[in-house]
């Protein structure tokens, strides 16, 4: 499991996330969860930081990262996966 905080211009944390990899068959299944605004204690900030645009941007960013991971995965497995079997 990997957990992260996302900061807005390094001023304050605005998103918490967790990625969980689960073995499934001969591969892995990636589950991601995001808690947008949860680290923000102020309802005023939460309302202004967590918008439809923020959610959409986060989703698009994750899609790009997943595509990159899908492209790299065969190479990573070839280079490092067989040693751990």
Q: Are 84 and 54 in contact (CB under 8 A)?
A: no
Q: Rounded CA gap, 58 and 73, in Å?
A: 22
Note the pLDDT of residue 84. 54
Greater confidence (85 vs 21) lies with 21
Helix (H) or strand (E) holding 14: strand 12-24
Specify which residues 2 forms β-bridges with. Answer: 19
What are the helix (H) ranges across 1-85?
43-49, 52-76
Supply the pTM of this predicted model: 0.66
Quote the CA–CA distance of 82 and 57 in Å, as a whole number.
36
> What would the pLDDT profile of 1-60 be if each residue is shown by its tens digit?
666 667 665 667 888 888 888 888 877 888 888 888 888 888 998 888 889 998 898 889
């Amino acid at each position: 499991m990997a957990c992260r905080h996302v900061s807005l211009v390094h001023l304050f944390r605005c998103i918490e996330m967790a990625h969980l990899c689960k073995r499934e068959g001969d591969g892995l299944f990636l589950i991601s969860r995001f808690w947008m605004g949860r680290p923000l204690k102020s309802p005023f900030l939460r309302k202004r930081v967590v918008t439809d645009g923020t959610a959409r941007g986060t989703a698009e960013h994750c899609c790009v990262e997943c595509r990159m991971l899908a492209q790299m995965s065969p190479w990573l497995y070839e280079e490092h996966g067989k040693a751990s079997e």
